[in-house]
A and B are shown apart, each in its own frame.
Chain A
Amino acid sequence: MLGQIGLGSAADLFQSIPEDLRLRGRLNTPAALSEIELLATFESMARQNTAARRSSFLGAGAYSHYIPTVVDHILSRSEFFTAYTPYQPEISQGTLQVIFEFQTLVCQMTGMEVANASMYDGSTALAEAVLMAERVTRRSKIISSSAVHPEYLEVVQTYVQHAGIHLQQSLYCTDTGTTLTESLAALDDQTAAVIVQSPNFFGCLEDVASLSDAAHRVGALLIVAITEPISLGLLKSPGACGADIVVAEGQSFGVPLSFGGPYVGLFATREKYARQMPGRLVGEAYDKQGRRGFVLTLATREQHIRREKATSNICTNEGLIALAATVYLETMGRRGLQEVATQCAQKAAYAAKRIGGLEGFSLPFSAPRFNEFVVRAPINARHLLSMLAKDRGITGGLALSRYFKDRPNDFLVCVTETNTRKEIDAFVEALRSITAS
């Protein structure tokens, strides 16, 4: 081929790169591995991830749920995972119809009117929601509950640091574990939005409807964040509680933990704000013969047309993970989503009751909860969890001191439909015997 285009050697291909910029010698990266060697290398590294192999009660924004086998089979179809953004609708109808169904399912679950084709994850979706609230209201103050996932708030802070937006945190009640409506004193006519997470970081259900009323009284928007969307199978939707923007982490919908990603951000809002949304949108369209199809639409909001005036810089989103969520939601269906949610709530209630009854243990927060709850141990939680892991092979949850230095003995426990009663009982027994000695 080189000869056919009149070149002598591969080096001639790079003549437009000045000689002194061309790499002399080879890259100092490893030599090529065969398939057998490569798998052995990765298997060896995977074996060192001892936490992946045992019964776990760790949640806090990433959850172990049952994933129907069909999800990964459909994800592995070449036609889905080796395609790109559907720029040519005539040969991308598969992807486009999936996204249209995804948008519909997100609307149904959240109780909202429009949803986009996905964001990177829950945390960046929240940051984009804040930027959108500023665009809609032309106001610059954001008040967030401090019971929102701490990493989400860190991401929001990074995104808004040069946008002239001020993020303030309001306190949560140390008795109930929920956001104090009185602490919203800073809420005024300069406030663009109030952020609340429900179930919140401590697993407690927030009174979203009251917070919504408080925000709306001063003309601010209410942004609801959800890290555990399985809860939507049972809980009143944020839309029904008056939310203006709903963002969620979609990982619970059929996506493996995978050390934190790729996950998928869900983003939904009211019809009247559709043109202020970030990200891609798929809409219905017809050809000359009246056949229904789907296209990327309302693109004039986006970076490739509006450049610096775009509603967001996002381009590549999380298409394949949105597909996983779509397959999950459709496979579980109406009744499966209700049953999963119910099992999570029942098992968590059972575990909470048993752990709360142990000598020296208590449940510091009184608010109703879904599948996560905070436990106060008689000893340092980090130490306790470390012993649980080493001696009993159980991951007991998250030591809250990772994010809340004033809570050394508290840890966050998550129970899902994948935790059997036997596992829960063993966990309770281990907590008892470790602290008894």
Chain B
Amino acid sequence: MEIAQNIVLTILTAATPLLIAAIGELVVERSGVLNLGVEGMMVIGAVCGFAAAVLTGSPWIGVIAAILAGALFSLPFAFLTLTLATNQVATGLSLTLLGVGLSGLLGEAFVGSPGPRLAAIAVPGLVDIPLIGRLLFGQDPIFYLSILLTAGVVWFLFATRAGLTLRAIGDSHGSAHSLGIKVIRTRYLAVLFGGACAGLAGGHLSLVYTPQWVENMTAGRGWIALALVVFASWRPLRVMAGAYLFGAVTIGQLHAQAIGLGIPSQFLSALPYLATVLVLVLISSNRRLTMMNTPASLGRAFVPDR
């Protein structure tokens, strides 16, 4: 049974960066902005978090640096799409291209250097409970943060006035503007929040999941997070379920590679990407469901009338 607990633990760890990045992007998209730069902000978070942790010796400073770097890096996207009303698809793409390039440059000095790992929490006594002890009381701090974050976003979106305002902007920015709501300002804050989450998700990769810096280490996880938001039809709890499902696929294929089923490793490595395509197909084919849940202003530039 110890094995089962270990497997569940690795699945939760693999799923955490997906969950955090997708929750952040969910808030951005609920405000009506499509930021395809998640991969770029994530990889910038990973490299900055790792660099800060190595230079200061403190993984916690690394975590903070990752969050700040992700948020900061989302600003050029926000400026272009919100202030200059550029095409969100193209601008998000360019954020990802720039992030991948910039992280390669910034991280060059840190390739191969050993990094500090953010240690797991262990609540004395409780962590030794059989079966569930380590699952509940012995994981890395960012895992607990991801749960709090999801709960916080559920509360914010569906139980606060500010959350209602944000959703209203996402569904009809014109009407929201007529009501005197600050559309652009709210969207700036949403994009910054999404950037901070993507940065934290990247930091989890380079400080917890595999404490090192490898170029392109996000390996498409930012894109998978984007797909998760669609898969979850813009609901936070479904994002959570989707992230753990993907964690299971990732860990499952790793175990299959270790056992050596005679299937080439490349085919198994392709599974998470193929699974992403599959779930997109499954969820999108129900056109009515997608139409009902997609924020109606998603991806459309907003220029206020004066």
Do A and B pair up? The answer is no
